[in-house]
Amino acid sequence: MSRRSARIVIVGAGLSGLYAAYLLARQGVTDYVVLEAREALGGRIASADASGQVVSHGVMQASTADRFDLGPAWFWPGYQRELGHLIEELGLEIFEQFEAGDMVVERSPQKAPVRVRGYVNSPASMRLTGGMGRLIETLHRMLNPASVLTGHTVRRLHKNDDHVVVESVAASGHTVTWHAEHVLLALPPRLIESTIAFEPALPETLARQWRDTATWMAPHAKYIAIYDTPFWREQGLSGEGRSARGPMGEIHDASMPNGSAALFGFLGVPARVRSTVSDEVMRTHCRAQFVRMFGPDAATPKAEIIKDWAQDPRTATATDRDASGQHAHAPASKAISGPWQGCLTGIASEWSPQFPGYLAGAVEAAGLGVQALAFGTSRAEFNEELT
């Protein structure tokens, strides 16, 4: 067993965890460590390349144009200003979700698909060129790589006098304990409550709130088909679709500017049913649906991938697999009394007051968590230093 110390331990290297580290570094706080159980960064931000292979987010790779989001893809800078400002600050290129043209609707399993007039979201849904993984990679480049550790699973938190002992297990099986002043929890509340032991126990009301908070994306699955050209656009179609037949219920154009074309759909089949069907069989049904809705050119994608978040133990619990998939209300992010008061804060997207579950929520919750630490500055002074 190894013993180490860090002023701040951040559990999770998704958007909220990396953004918290970025804010700490901007405040001159370098004595932190980010512990990520996965071997790759990003959490629920994940990407596939044009060959259908999952990309390992970390250092910036040579070619990033052809990336397709397996997790969240959209943001709305018009009212998600903190996220919009961060993306602008990092110099990332954005583009508007393609929505021009008709959409295709399957109103029942017994009826053929029909074209209907499409619609354009207002405000427009925006995406990142190269996918949301660019945000993760760019934030990571701003940090000391020695302070971001992958393959480290946090198993236990123990409150010991004036510090917290964080027990993690490395991919090698070696146990590492960290002594910290404060722990920022950048994992979904339900996942924390079910996978991390707290000694002493969390207040029961707080633990129950975390346990009852649904994890966004956890019950969902995406199918992506990648093509050389967006042939549906030549037919005057937007790539949007809705289906009561399935297996996908909601479909969108996922093409990249100056890159490959793609369609993606959210699988409407419940998670427990999906677990009984092989990926190969599900892909066959998804291709058949695209052919029904967009024509024979959809039959031969150059690559395809299914990402089933319900089968990802770093995201979903058994409870999540039965969830409806709706955005949950934010629970309390910290204990207001007892031994855990003042040393433990939840900063994952689910703790966002305005945007729980969204990308913008990860940024908001992380900002609030770091802001509350303040390191001897007032809230107003802290805000001023960040601008």
Could you list the mean pLDDT of each consecutive 10-residue stretch along the chain, which spans 387 residues? 93 99 96 97 96 77 77 96 97 97 96 92 92 96 97 97 95 95 98 98 97 95 98 98 97 96 97 95 98 98 98 94 77 96 97 97 98 60 37
Contacts of 173 (CB under 8 A, 6+ apart): none
Report how far residue 60's alpha carbon sits from residue 97's, in angstroms, rounded to the nearest whole number: 24
Report how far residue 130's alpha carbon sits from residue 91's, in angstroms, rounded to the nearest whole number: 13
Is the bond leading into 77 cis (omega within 30 degrees of zero)? Answer: no
What is the radius of gyration, based on Cα positions, of the chain?
Answer: 21
pLDDT value at position 16?
99
Alpha helices in the chain (DSSP H): 15-26, 81-89, 133-141, 189-195, 204-211, 231-234, 271-274, 279-294, 359-373, 379-386
Identify the H or E element spanning 261: strand 261-267
**Pair 340, 157: CB distance under 8 Å:** no
- Collapsing DSSP to helix, strand or coil, 5 comes out as strand
pLDDT value at position 1?
76
Superfamily of structural domain 2-386 = FAD/NAD(P)-binding domain (3.50.50.60)
- DSSP structure class, residue 248: E
From the CB of residue 169, how many other CB atoms can be counted at a distance below 10 Å? 16
Nearest to 73 by CA among 367, 271, 307: 307
Report how far residue 15's alpha carbon sits from residue 43's, in angstroms, rounded to the nearest whole number: 7
pTM, to two decimals: 0.93
pLDDT value at position 58?
64
Q: Report the amino acid identity of residue 1.
A: M
Contacts of 193 (CB under 8 A, 6+ apart): 202, 207, 210, 211
Report how far residue 18's alpha carbon sits from residue 142's, in angstroms, rounded to the nearest whole number: 10
pLDDT value at position 328?
77
pLDDT value at position 387?
36
pLDDT value at position 61?
53
pLDDT value at position 325?
63
333: tokens are 């992010």
Nearest to 131 by CA among 42, 197, 65, 81: 65
187: tokens are 């994992």
Q: Burial level of 384, CB count in 10 A (0-12/13-18/19+)?
A: exposed
Side-chain-facing half-sphere of 316: CA atoms under 13 Å = 22
Q: Give me the residue spans of the domains in the chain.
A: 2-386
Q: Report the amino acid identity of residue 349.
A: S
Report how far residue 341's alpha carbon sits from residue 7's, in angstroms, rounded to the nearest whole number: 16
